[in-house]
Structure 1
């Protein structure tokens, strides 16, 4: 890597992670120009999706080290490709659910108060109706995997052409200062055609659900790496005091702990684990706390100047803090506790 080390295994970063970093740096408008970034995502996505856990998570981290929003566009596309591949191996997806290589994918699985999407069979085909919240880039993507309720207590995953009749993406509200260009707004479905991917509950119960969650954590860690490097550079400046060294040391130790957790998770995922959901909860909690702490250290140590005069630094801080809200703090820790009690 040119600037940061995203290695999660012995030796150097994977060839794929190195290539992802180079290509992201070379891409015009990476992370800022949505169409250009999605073209890049479409080109590199299959390689990342088919990589080992270690190489795949390194690649997501490498993209985030270049630009957080760029990695935010890559991660769900890779997740969708992996889900479709898992469904194909399980003979749980029809060929009409998988478009050509020109597709760009989102995964819309969030639920919100007062809104929901229902799936029903109508004249021999499945259709979706209702409103799905938090659908990132729905106005720009070609396809999405969408969860919908098929019964009061069962959800199923469906592949949807976002440009087909009956699909109506909202353009807002989205006033976020972080990830400002990655609009996450509702989508209305009005008897929109959908192709089932797996049976009821398959999406949430498969081990790949945990690995996708850890992939997000890898992005959080990668996004924090340039902040750790900025603290190290500040500590190395002439006249830097002991406090600058302490900030750099704390950030480095925290980042190393997150790296160790991701490395261990990659090994366990490769060997197979009995409780992948517990592992994912542990990893996400550890990495989210680490990335948030490193952002705070960077703000404290470097002061207001880079936040007000260094656009890439200020955008990285804002983007990372919004992305970290995908971890729900104490609520996710409570979920981990419940899983531990149940097991």
Structure 2
């Protein structure tokens, strides 16, 4: 892993409020140059892990920024890459907003009173809200789904809808609903071709990135548990040492999965076909989900009722991680692992 940077100041400065964007924390990451595309190569998983350890809400926003720049690098034209990577260096914040309600999904429509193109509908769980300068959104057309990199600099008509965002955790990710109806778009904002967003292995591979953030959150819980037991002089108890040992094994397991993901990401594992890469991603997100749930359970047992107090440093990271683990389709991902293995007729 890369050299650890003390991000304690990031956590301490974040207000646990569902409508307050963690501006100061993002500025810290920008000052570290962690928001520029050139930083994502060898160190990407370590950076995601470290930010997740500092604060999962910031990690969610940061992962969306990373995801957006990777999509631009994968599907963007040379002009788009030059423009958007430059804007990221200048401090523009990117994100990816794909989730929507079926009855109000985002569509591209033509305005017959002019030659312009406009959006109709909304996106939900828009992490970062209108603090995101260049969100990538997916919008339906008659031919399929098109990605767009929107410019929000001068779109003052948009409003944040908080009616669907008041969760128990991940509150500062400010993941509200945004209605884009009558928002004008331009051809140069189109990213890639129709249905590129869902192309494999890139679509499924995104799960390894949010898994790295979640593992960072689990590490925060593990460290906080250990610090509590040491402070209360309970770490030498044999039962507590068994719990400490189990958590240590779980976190080492997570680091090994991250290392393997990094090897695949950077071409050091040539045995991975696209199908194998998708399968690895499904395995990793499944493993990380189970691993994090076990870390939470062990920490709760080790600390007890004190860890549920809002004044205790364990309460918030557990609450945040429980919410962040609610990623879409966990059962489907596990079933796909089973189907992949069944088709190969071997576990190797």
Q: TM-score interval w.r.t. the shorter chain? A: 0.7 to 0.9
2:71 maps to 83
The gaps in structure 1 that reach 5 residues or longer are 1-12
1:25 to 1, 8, 11: 8
**For the structure 1 residues 238 and 187, does the alpha-carbon distance in structure 2 shift closer, same or farther, using more than 3 Å as the test?**
closer
**For the structure 1 residues 239 and 36, does the alpha-carbon distance in structure 2 shift closer, same or farther, using more than 3 Å as the test?**
closer
Counterpart-to-counterpart distance in 2, 1:239 and 1:78: 38
**For the structure 1 residues 121 and 200, does the alpha-carbon distance in structure 2 shift closer, same or farther, using more than 3 Å as the test?**
farther
TM-score with structure 1 setting the length: 0.83
Worse-matched range after superposition: 47-56 or 244-253: 47-56
The superposition leaves residues 62-91 of structure 1 with CA deviations (integer Å, 9 ceiling, x where unpaired) of 112222222222111122122223334x54
Deviation at 1:105, TM superposition (A): 1.8
**Is it true that 1:217 corresponds to 2:211 in the alignment?**
yes
1:186 maps to 177
2:281 maps to 280
Matches within 5 A, 1:228-307: 228-233=222-227, 237=233, 240-271=236-267, 273-275=272-274, 276-307=277-308
1:102 maps to 91
**Is it true that 1:157 corresponds to 2:147 in the alignment?**
yes
Deviation at 1:189, TM superposition (A): 1.1
Matches within 5 A, 1:136-155: 136-151=127-142, 154-155=144-145
**For the structure 1 residues 200 and 216, does the alpha-carbon distance in structure 2 shift closer, same or farther, using more than 3 Å as the test?**
same
Worse-matched range after superposition: 248-257 or 314-323: 248-257
The DSSP-based 3-state class of the residue aligned with 1:167 is: coil
Worse-matched range after superposition: 45-54 or 75-84: 45-54
Aligned-residue Cα RMSD (Å) equals 2.9
Worse-matched range after superposition: 216-225 or 30-39: 30-39
Deviation at 1:212, TM superposition (A): 2.9
**For the structure 1 residues 75 and 201, does the alpha-carbon distance in structure 2 shift closer, same or farther, using more than 3 Å as the test?**
same
Q: Is the 8 A contact 1:125 1:193 kept in 2?
A: yes
**For the structure 1 residues 158 and 230, does the alpha-carbon distance in structure 2 shift closer, same or farther, using more than 3 Å as the test?**
same
Number of residue pairs matched by the alignment: 324
1:8 maps to none
Deviation at 1:98, TM superposition (A): 7.2
Deviation at 1:114, TM superposition (A): 2.2
TM-score with structure 2 setting the length: 0.81
**For the structure 1 residues 125 and 204, does the alpha-carbon distance in structure 2 shift closer, same or farther, using more than 3 Å as the test?**
farther
Deviation at 1:124, TM superposition (A): 5.7
The superposition leaves residues 253-275 of structure 1 with CA deviations (integer Å, 9 ceiling, x where unpaired) of 11111111111111122226312
**For the structure 1 residues 97 and 252, does the alpha-carbon distance in structure 2 shift closer, same or farther, using more than 3 Å as the test?**
closer
Counterpart-to-counterpart distance in 1, 2:33 and 2:312: 28
The gaps in structure 2 that reach 5 residues or longer are 16-20
Matches within 5 A, 1:170-181: 170-181=161-172
Counterpart-to-counterpart distance in 1, 2:140 and 2:157: 17
The superposition leaves residues 125-163 of structure 1 with CA deviations (integer Å, 9 ceiling, x where unpaired) of 5432112121122132222100111236x2111011235
The DSSP-based 3-state class of the residue aligned with 2:147 is: strand
**Is it true that 1:130 corresponds to 2:114 in the alignment?**
no
Deviation at 1:113, TM superposition (A): 3.4
The superposition leaves residues 320-339 of structure 1 with CA deviations (integer Å, 9 ceiling, x where unpaired) of 11111125432332344455
The superposition leaves residues 293-321 of structure 1 with CA deviations (integer Å, 9 ceiling, x where unpaired) of 10111111210102215443211111111
Counterpart-to-counterpart distance in 2, 1:248 and 1:46: 32
**For the structure 1 residues 41 and 206, does the alpha-carbon distance in structure 2 shift closer, same or farther, using more than 3 Å as the test?**
farther
Worse-matched range after superposition: 218-227 or 77-86: 77-86
2:335 maps to 334
The DSSP-based 3-state class of the residue aligned with 1:127 is: strand
Counterpart-to-counterpart distance in 2, 1:281 and 1:158: 26
